Amino acid sequence: MFGEKHDLLHEFPEHRERIRDLKMNDARFARLFNHYHDVEHEVHRIENGSETASDEYLEQRKKLRLSLKDQLFQMIQAPA
């Protein structure tokens, strides 16, 4: 959906506790988590017209967001 939020807690509500634990105890996860959310917020602002960007730039940011989400999800699913 256009302009839909993709923050991790909405994407993976069943992993809320694991995400919280990783954010507090895994520096790499916390760094990727923050980067993901920065990119997510930027994409959301562009899609809602708060910021302007070329279609190519927006697509690059969406691809980066997906790559970060994949990395984060792999970390979430890894054994504790």
Question: Token digits for 59?
Answer: 């697509």
pLDDT tens profile 2-61: 556 678 888 899 999 999 999 999 999 999 999 999 999 999 999 999 999 999 999 999
Beta carbons within 10 angstroms of residue 52's beta carbon:
9
Residue 1 pLDDT > 60: no
Entry pTM: 0.88
In sequence order, what are the residues at sequence separation of 6 or more whose Cβ sits closer than 8 angstroms to the Cβ of residue 30? 22, 23, 24
The Cα 7–Cα 70 span in angstroms is 13
